[in-house]
Amino acid sequence: MSAALVLHDVHAGYGRSAVLQGVSLSVDKDETVALLGPNGSGKSTVARTIMNLTTLYQGQVVWHDGDISRTPTWRRVRLGLAYVPQVDNVFRTLTVDENLLVGVNLRPKREAARRLADIYDLFPLLRSRKRVSAGNLSGGERRLLAFATTLVQDPKLLILDEPTSDLAPAAIDLIFEKIREIRDRFGIPLLVIEQNVERALELADRVCILVRGRVVVERAAAAIDEREIGMVFLERMGGGVGPADGQGNAGSP
């Protein structure tokens, strides 16, 4: 397979604080990659760096063989890179339908209607809640809406940052089910940042483990198990915790 996205020797962070210390990883076409690591290891910083939401000190971000290291965020979105952050990922005061309309407001009317119909077919739960404000949805429903508002824009790569964090078990099951449907239906590469190691291994083709801003393991998901990943976390972290991932946030990256 050829790579859709490549990060080469990336050093990046916030202000003068470098979080990523020479990260190199790739996401191939039609591939799902799980990015795992302890809290504070820099996983969310990888996602934000792909979208040009950090300071890039060194290295390259390559999209389909083109260097986009200095490309602004809005142009990366136009190129098809899509990022669903862990929080602040929907317009809470708008209804479900209005959130989706924001994503298609620049498309021709017929194409916009087709995209909306496709998305509602994929997320029938959202169809039943289309007149409800996003702020009144459950946590799982809001996460689905965040997926939907991104997918309605027809992305070419989808980055999901902690898609199951703070959700009830039933909602977690639904989220993973929908991620699989997205993968199978749209055939786009996925980069999934996840704390649920067992479920991530079931979903992914390949796993990258990030510790203290460095990729320490990169392997086919079928060739690694949950116990080995736990051992890597403990060994590399030395029983401690990593630096804060982000701008002063030492919590879940």
Residue 237's pLDDT is what?
66
pLDDT band at 1 (very low <50, low <70, confident <90, very high): low
Residue pLDDT, tens place only, 78-126? 999 999 998 888 999 999 999 999 988 877 888 889 999 999 999 999 9
| Cα–Cα distance, 65 to 2 (Å, whole number) | 10
Contact (Cβ atoms closer than 8 angstroms) between residue 10 and residue 60: yes
Residue pLDDT, tens place only, 120-166? 999 999 999 999 999 999 999 999 999 999 999 999 999 999 999 98
| Radius of gyration over every alpha carbon of the chain, rounded to an integer in angstroms | 18
Residue pLDDT, tens place only, 236-252? 666 444 444 444 333 33
Number of C-beta neighbours around residue 99 at 10 A: 24
Residue pLDDT, tens place only, 56-71? 999 999 999 999 999 9
Residue 241's pLDDT is what?
40
Q: Is 65 left (phi over 0), alpha (psi -120 to 50) or beta?
A: left
pLDDT band at 170 (very low <50, low <70, confident <90, very high): very high
Residue 43 has pLDDT above 70, yes or no: yes
Locus of tokens 């809005």: 74
Residue 231's pLDDT is what?
85
Domains, the chain, in order of start with CATH, read 1-80+189-253 (3.40.50.300)
Give 14's DSSP letter: E
